[in-house]
Amino acid sequence: MSAPRRRRPTLVLKGVSKSYGAGEISVRALTDIELVVERGDFVAVMGSSGSGKSTLMNLIGCLDAPTEGRYLLEGIDVSRLDDVELAFIRNRKIGFVFQSYNLVPRTSALRNVELPLIYARVPKQERRERAEAALVAVGVGHRMQHVPAELSGGQQQRVAIARAIVTQPALILADEPTGNLDTAAGAEVMQIFSRLNAEGRTVVMITHEPEIASYAKRVIHLLDGRIDADRRTTPLTALPPLLVAGDVAKTETA
């Protein structure tokens, strides 16, 4: 009988600050952020407009670098990497889901999901199989050959989630993922995130809607660029609170 091995956190922010611009016109968007997100957590980041949510998302997503402090993503210090290295880390370690889906237009769902695997130089046959499996897993296996304009908002977001998970990232990072969806489609998307988390994936999601945040296991509030509250609502190792048992892939209403 061995004690459970201590696992490396997915992300660690130590004394992270971010300013835009220099000198007189410098704007401080984040101040002294201390944040540890363990593997398997499901975190909602809330805060009013201008509180620093997007800045935090950009730092965590390796889209931008902190002005001060350190950021460790799966133990790798990414605060000192150059743009090429950051792009590599982004592709390998992070799956992004955006409010506006950001799918490539006039390109099939299947091809959209294959794209990150093309960048990762995964061979064609494996690429195809993994993309198909990801689309089936989020309940749009029957829409693989459709282009985004032929899909509902909820279906487009499912394709975007398939694209985010197909690389098996350490972290799923979502910015207002239900912001453009009606209540029913939003709830379905949140079930997908809940199921992905139940399967062990780490999810960090920005939202300003308390109802959406209630799907998470931990809720962080930003105020004027600082962490104002950090509330664990469900134990790290428990199932996400609003997970509905059963096969999410079969619940699609469309």
Q: Give me the residues that bind ligand ADP (CB under 6 A), please.
A: 20-21, 27, 29, 47, 49-55
Rg value, the chain, Cα: 18
Residue with Cβ nearer ligand ADP (11 or 206): 206
How large is the angle between the packed helices 153-165 and 109-119, nearest 10 degrees? 20
Q: What are phi and psi of 168, to 5 degrees?
A: 55, 55
51 binds, among ligand ADP, Mg ion, none (CB under 5 to 8 A by kind): ligand ADP
Q: Is residue 207 packed enough to be buried (19+ CB in 10 Å), middle (13-18) or exposed (0-12)?
A: buried
Min separation Cβ 55 and ligand ADP, Å: 3
Neighbours of 171 (CB within 10 A): 23
Min separation Cβ 52 and ligand ADP, Å: 4
**180, 229 contact by CB (below 8 A):** no
Q: Which of 19, 31, 54, 58 binds Mg ion (CB under 5 A)?
A: 54
Residue with Cβ nearer Mg ion (53 or 218): 53
The candidate with the shortest Cα–Cα distance to 140, out of 242, 244, 246, 251, is: 251
Residue with Cβ nearer Mg ion (52 or 154): 52
Residue with Cβ nearer ligand ADP (27 or 244): 27
Taking CB atoms, the residue at the shortest distance from Mg ion is 54
Q: Which amino acid would we find at residue 169?
A: P
Residue with Cβ nearer Mg ion (79 or 207): 207
**140, 158 contact by CB (below 8 A):** yes
Contacting range for Mg ion; rule: CB under 5 A; set: 7-15, 26-34, 46-54, 101-109: 46-54
Q: Is residue 149 packed enough to be buried (19+ CB in 10 Å), middle (13-18) or exposed (0-12)?
A: exposed
By the rule CB under 5 A, 58 interacts with Mg ion? no
Min separation Cβ 162 and ligand ADP, Å: 26
**46, 75 contact by CB (below 8 A):** no
Residue with Cβ nearer ligand ADP (45 or 162): 45
Min separation Cβ 51 and Mg ion, Å: 8
Contacting range for Mg ion; rule: CB under 5 A; set: 31-39, 50-58, 216-224, 241-249: 50-58
Kindly list the residues in this chain that would bind Mg ion in the complex (CB under 5 A). Answer: 53-54
